[in-house]
A and B are shown apart, each in its own frame.
Chain A
Amino acid sequence: MSRVPVIALVGNPNAGKSALFNALTGARQKIANYPGVTVERKAGRAALPSGQPIELVDLPGSYSLDAASPDEEVTSKVVMGRFSGEAMPEVLVVVVDAANLEQHLVFAQELIALGRPVVVALNMIDLAERDGLVIDAAVLSEALGVPVVPTVAVRRRGLEALLTEIEKAPQQDRTHRHQAAELTLPERRLNAHNIVAGAILSETAAHRWHSRLDMVLLNPWSGPLILFGLLFVMFQAVFAWADPFITMIEDGIEDLIGFVETAMPDGILQDFLTQGVLSGVGSVIVFLPQIIILFAFILVMEQSGYMARAAFLMDRLMAYVGLSGRSFIPLLSSFACAIPGIMATRAIADPKDRLTTIMIAPLMTCSARLPVYAVIIGAFIPARTVGPGIGLQGLVLFGLYLFGIIGAMLVAFVLRRTVTKGAASGFIMEMPRYQMPIWRDLLIGLWQRAYIFLRRAGTIIFMATVILWVLLSFPKADPGESQVEASIAGHIADGLNVVMEPIGFNHEISLALIPAMAAREVAVSALATTYAIDGDEDEQAAGLTERLAMNWSLPTALAFLAWFVFAPQCLSTIAVARRETNGWKWPLVMIAYLFALAYVFAGITYWSAVALGL
């Protein structure tokens, strides 16, 4: 088998590298980690005009080969062929933003001076033209001594020409390039300035609308107002827009269960498929619409350049607890799910900042807690209004979100002064120019997120549901005896109950908490399964909400809510924390402190409620 040549895309952050990568490879991408580090490796296949297949690698955006962060270190090592297990790229495609040429040519010169086959992609040339910049690619090519191809990733302009130059690149005459290797940074900067001055044919002061937008979006008054308005709309959308889709999925699953019940003979296999697999996995897949909506907002904010402005606005607030504006983005993502949130911490250069953010990400109220909150609130909090347009149920839900945020900030404050102690981290961030989000990039991003979620539902949650069903169904109870009490799970819950009783939890809760270790939302399906397997005809007819209202006291319900604000009941989060911190130490600290907080606060909630006579 002949080796497929590796072609690397390399350049400054915000040069439009990912958009170019998406345009060249389409959805045929493989996302993994570089071995030993937590930097994402994005690779995909493309073909040269001759039909020769190539592997394109999208390297992390960098300012220099002299690395200042783990991301930059990967880029530097791969480019130099010093990353073990990574093939040295045959051709470097240096991506520069046409509208920000003077800045991007500094790194480009450093790369060209390596003396390797190079093609420069003069990217986003359309945006530069819109900003009134006309650049002569031929002059630029002459000055740099390498081919320069103008590209517009969004409109697929220049892609063929780029691939043609990549194919010819190994035959380039590279003898004279090494002289430039000795240049210092200020010399390169001066060079870049002179090259750009020669290559720009005309320039009108036109990037004013960027600064006008900044005037509004970073304004001390309108800035925060717009940010919080946007977040408000986002959370509203997650609930309101998702509803019809959730109903559709629920109906589909019910139809499927009905179909299995009629098509299959009664018996253990039918029970397994309907009660175990379909209801269990189905109760998790219903969150897909909410996750997609949340990610659509986050991806649009990222692609438009607004996310950097949000980080700017929030930086000072984050600084109070020892973090920076960069932590805002991962923490915001964690409201959808802590897994992508923790993965997004890779953008944080400071290792202690990053670790602290990972540790508090599970305290952001993720979408998996919603079904738990929704069921309990529905059963115990009366649906009355406490003010114009403010429902009590919504207020309690908002309170639970707030509780999580305050908890996270306090934990960060404590961590930054103890285990992740260190110099106050800084906040240095280039603010990308505003641009319209690109449909293709948005859809590819959404697809990747949905895929990760569905794979989780298909593996971890599937397994947990099946195991719980088995534990609950065997051994079979004698007539007159409760199936749940007689089952293996019932006996495990007996043991757990000794610990949980002092904070007001009952036997059913102890039972539901075991499978909910896999994922929080399983608590709901576990409670449903427990009450479905057990109980008389009348009780069976009532929904879970009514059953809970009948069987639990209000202090117990409130303690249960408080528990789920903190409890780290999500195997996937623990697994991703282990991967991102390269070991078991920090995930174990995370599990320990979150369970401790959950126990203490559930206890305080229970006994306060009892004392108040609720």
Chain B
Amino acid sequence: MDTQLTLDQIAPGKRAEIVAVDWDALAPDEAKRLRALGLDEGARVAVAHRGIFLGADPMAIILGRTTIAIRSAHARAMQVKHP
């Protein structure tokens, strides 16, 4: 099983489920914000859009009825599996 799959590797239009988040890799306030928005273990998300310049940053993530913009660096801290 591929345990190294992270959210930043998910292509636009595809779904994923967050299985673990490396909170220590994120700044404390950013971690707090991401949790408050619901980007936490167990969240089922879909990647909607990627940025227009090199690095495809930022990413637009759909979670329930909200769309949330995050950077790839945040997504890299989120381990996901295909639902």
Contact = CB atoms under 8 A, between A and B. Distances in A.
B56 to A, nearest CB: 8
Nearest to A100: B65
Interface in A101-119: 102-103, 106-107
A317 B48 CA distance: 20
A129 to B, nearest CB: 14
Given A102-B65, A312-B69, A428-B68, A68 B29 contact: yes
B82 interface: no
Interface in A200-255: 207, 210-211, 214, 218-220, 223-224
Given A185-B35, A430-B37, A224 B52 contact: yes
Contacts of A424: 73
Given A68-B36, A312-B58, A428-B37, A220 B52 contact: yes
B10 to A, nearest CB: 16
B40 interface: yes
Contact of B64 (A66, A69, A103, A311): A103
Given A189-B40, A218-B49, A219-B49, 19 more contacts: A100-B64, A100-B65, A100-B66, A103-B38, A106-B36, A207-B65, A211-B48, A312-B51, A312-B58, A313-B52, A316-B51, A316-B54, A317-B53, A427-B71, A428-B33, A428-B37, A428-B70, A430-B66, A430-B69
A429 B69 contact: yes
B70 A102 contact: no
A316 B53 contact: yes
Given A312-B60, A316-B51, A431 B67 contact: yes
A528 B55 CA distance: 52
A223 B51 CA distance: 10
A378 interface: no
Most buried by B among A100, A311, A319, A423: A319
Contacts of B62: 211
Interface residues of B, number: 36
A426 interface: yes
Contacts of B17: none
Give the dominant DSSP class at B's interface. mixed
Contact of B36 (A64, A186, A325): A64
A297 interface: no
A102 B64 contact: yes
A286 interface: no
Contacts of B68: 428-431
B1 interface: no
Interface of A: 63-64, 66, 68-69, 99-100, 102-103, 106-107, 185-186, 189, 207, 210-211, 214, 218-220, 223-224, 308, 311-313, 315-317, 319, 325, 349, 423-424, 426-431
Nearest to A102: B64
A325 B57 CA distance: 11
Contacts of A317: 53
A427 B69 contact: yes
Contacts of B34: 428
A428 B30 contact: yes
B44 to A, nearest CB: 12
Residue among B29, B52, B53, B68 with max Cβ neighbours from chain A (10 Å): B52
A211 B42 CA distance: 23
Contact of A427 (B32, B38, B54, B70): B70
11 contacts: A63-B33, A68-B30, A68-B36, A69-B33, A185-B36, A312-B60, A429-B69, A430-B37, A430-B67, A431-B66, A431-B68
Contacts of A349: 29, 33
Of B34, B36, B74, the most chain A CB neighbours within 10 A belong to: B36
A576 B44 CA distance: 44
A63, A349, A426: residue with the most chain B Cβ atoms closer than 10 Å: A426
